Chains A and B, each alone.
Chain A
Amino acid sequence: MKPIDEILPTAPVIHVSPSPHLVQTASSTRRMMVDVLIALVPVVAMSLFVFRGYALFQLAVCLGGCLLAELVFVKMRGRPSTLKDGSAIVTGIILAMSLPGTAPWYVGTIAAFVAIGIGKIIFGGMGMNLFNPAMVGRAFVMISFAGALAASGFEDVRSAVDAISQATPMNAYKINGVVTPLTHLFWGTTNGSLGETSALACLLGGLYLVIRRTASWEIPAGLIAAVLVLGGVADLAGPADGWTVLHHILGGSLLFGAFFIATDPVTSPLTPTGKFIFGAGTGMLIMVLRLFSGYPEGVMFAVLFMNALTPLINRWSIPTPFGGK
């Protein structure tokens, strides 16, 4: 008697797996991270073009720091390596793009370790974190090394790179009332955090993310809508100093934050309504911080604050299932 698998060599196998029955394997973590990396290409390219060696240096420091931190902390937890899912690479690049080019090496390194260690691994790793890891790392170094990350830390008058030798547009306006032309903000030839300067690059990358549905459109839409409304009111109510609502949208890290930071699927709400509320809340807080705080920019704190409200928004906006209470 022959074994059964020789008699029926082509016996069909039926796999029964629990729901959800996702047929497209394209929506894996890795696929999403690759999408984000593709979307970051124009931003990174623009920062390399404007800041040259400074951008390369920050990218190397932050990427190296994040990958090393991921390797070390995951090993400490005794888990299989998670380097291949690409989330540490994304965190590293977003972190580098959010730092000033002039920041010394230890700023990026410490920010990377805090981002991965305290921002992500301590909560249980990828998918469990409450706050956007890159922003946790950046907030830590921003409060720690106020000299290197305050507005004056962005400038180095002796630098050969043009952008670095100017004041950032946000700071020039906040301190001296100097208004940077919109075209400069749009193309990105100004000083600032590496990835934030070019509105065009952020829009290109952001639109790719939204079209690929890797990032939901509700968050950037809500965020920009809130800034439009509050910026418009501030425009009408405030002095006519030339800083319009368009400057608010194209300047600072608003577009970078709207498309790349606030849209982190782990730390933003689950439902479309929730996402819109999250985006609008972030936009409102950004405007409040920009108009009334001592800081020229408020995207980081606004995103972190709304991250903390995400569970609340979820509870608020998740619809009741049929028959549920």
Chain B
Amino acid sequence: MADLPTATERFINGILPENPVYRQLLGLCPTLAVTNSLKAAITMAGAVGFVLLCANVITSLIRNLLKPHLRIVVFTLTIATFVTIADRFLAAYLYQMSKTLGPYIPLIIVNCIIICRCEVCASKQSPLVAATDAVGQSLGFGIALSSIAAIREILGTGALLGLRIMPASWPDWVIMVLPPGAFLTFGLLLGTVNWITARRGGKKTA
């Protein structure tokens, strides 16, 4: 247990060195599906952050009661509880956004980022470490989603968060807000992140 990362390390790792999207390639379904506008991406990242924080803390509190063969079921039930809260909250207060995100909010239940963090961190470390880990990973997820969404929204609609930032003559690259745009943008950004990491001589995660 002694060699597990500390709370600070967990926090920093989540943002870039172990970024859930760019380094671990987890949670790609929402990454590709809801990043056609920055607003949707931020809402999604917020919902995932809320669920991840709550699930990590609860899992960490009950970590000594977990039976190895039942742990995934317990994780999933814990996550499902908070996803339901997030889903109902969005439906009540951000109805339009809830419509836009559609099935992707309930799908957070099977988001592998959260199960991964419960397994890797929360089921082994104290609630404080689990909480900082959750915040770090959520920030990393939010940064990844926002970077993809910003590029897609600017190129695809000439606007960001609904505010027009490109000149009026900007021809909208419609393909960028359609599914192919998600794959292209994600692939190019992933390549860029790998390229930067390689140039800085950083160690590669397999």
Contacts and interface: CB of A to CB of B under 8 A. Distances in A.
B106 to A, nearest CB: 30
A118 B184 contact: yes
Contact of B180 (A104, A110, A143): A143
B193 to A, nearest CB: 16
Given A104-B171, A106-B171, A144 B184 contact: no
Interface string B166-177: 000001111110
Interface in B138-183: 171-176, 178, 180
B175 A140 contact: yes
A106 B171 CA distance: 9
A146 interface: yes
Interface string B49-85: 0000000000000000000000000000000000000
A110 B178 CA distance: 17
Nearest to A107: B171
A140 B175 CA distance: 7
Interface string A128-164: 0000000000001001111010000000000000000
A191 to B, nearest CB: 22
A110 B155 CA distance: 12
B174 A143 contact: yes
Contacts of B184: 118
Contacts of B180: 143
Contacts of A104: 171
A256 to B, nearest CB: 24
B182 to A, nearest CB: 13
Contacts of B178: 143
A110 B173 CA distance: 10
Contacts of A145: 171, 173-174
B5 to A, nearest CB: 35
Contacts of A143: 174-175, 178, 180
Contacts, number: 20
A118 B171 CA distance: 20
A148 B176 CA distance: 16
Contacts of B174: 143-146
A264 to B, nearest CB: 21
B151 to A, nearest CB: 14
Interface in B104-152: none
B190 to A, nearest CB: 12
Contacts of A110: 173
A123 to B, nearest CB: 12
- Name, among B171, B172, B178, the residue most crowded by chain A CB atoms within 10 Å (CB to CB): B171
Interface string A287-305: 0000000000000000000
Nearest to A114: B184
Contacts of B171: 104, 106, 144-145, 148
Interface in A86-129: 104, 106, 110, 118
Contacts of B172: 144
A219 to B, nearest CB: 26
A110 B172 CA distance: 12
Nearest to B180: A143
A137 B110 CA distance: 36
A104 B170 CA distance: 12
Contacts of A118: 184
Contacts of A146: 174
A145 B173 CA distance: 6
B199 to A, nearest CB: 12
Nearest to B176: A144
A102 B44 CA distance: 41
- Name, among A106, A144, A146, A148, the residue most crowded by chain B CB atoms within 10 Å (CB to CB): A144
A74 to B, nearest CB: 16
A118 B174 CA distance: 17
Interface in A199-243: none
Interface in B14-33: none
A140 B184 CA distance: 11
Nearest to B172: A144
Nearest to A110: B173
Given A143-B174, A143-B178, A148-B171, 9 more contacts: A104-B171, A110-B173, A143-B175, A144-B174, A144-B175, A144-B176, A145-B171, A145-B174, A146-B174
20 contacts: A104-B171, A106-B171, A110-B173, A118-B184, A140-B175, A143-B174, A143-B175, A143-B178, A143-B180, A144-B171, A144-B172, A144-B173, A144-B174, A144-B175, A144-B176, A145-B171, A145-B173, A145-B174, A146-B174, A148-B171
Interface of B: 171-176, 178, 180, 184
